[in-house]
Structure 1
């Protein structure tokens, strides 16, 4: 899946894995190597995250039902727990520094494109 920021037209991540099952959401990025640039993990449903057993920082983007950015945590350190964002329906985890580089701001809306939509 590809994620684009509609506010500025920039690609947020070219290759985003999706975690919707209980097990995939529970595992998240635990014990995984650091995310490469233009990669990410989409977790749905999700309104809070933790970085237990991780060895690297990540940017965490909390999104509403219509993919509006509700809350951003830049460079969340390992072994931390985020606050609960009650309105959040999904979270996009990205390499640290992505939110600033794109940039991503509260109120921006994202567009998700599946592999099929990208080739058509």
Structure 2
């Protein structure tokens, strides 16, 4: 498969996925999270993992969009902070108005709308053996 064809196919998938609203996709989050958590060496598990990753990607895209949009509107629009916490060493990229940190560097007492502790953004790196 040529890179051009693969890129076109991925962009087509991205456009289709971007047409759905996050709320509709998040209705499926629990289903696919459970399937991914129950590892089975099957094609069905692999596909469920990809679906779960695509749902997560839309959520991340929306968080980044909202964060960057608010940042472009000025510091007064930055409250409340985004629903994610950057990985260690990247927190200064997302610190807004001197956000308070606990001694471990994490945001103190921040919770998302569902009341759970905030998620953590993971930096994805290519495998060194590839």
Question: What TM-score bracket applies, with the shorter chain setting the length?
Answer: under 0.3
Structure with the higher strand share, 1 or 2: 1
**What TM-score do the two structures reach when normalised by structure 2?**
0.23
Higher relative contact order (CA 8 A, sep 6+): 1
**What TM-score do the two structures reach when normalised by structure 1?**
0.24
Point out the structure with max Rg over C-alpha. Answer: 2
Structure with the higher helix share, 1 or 2: 2
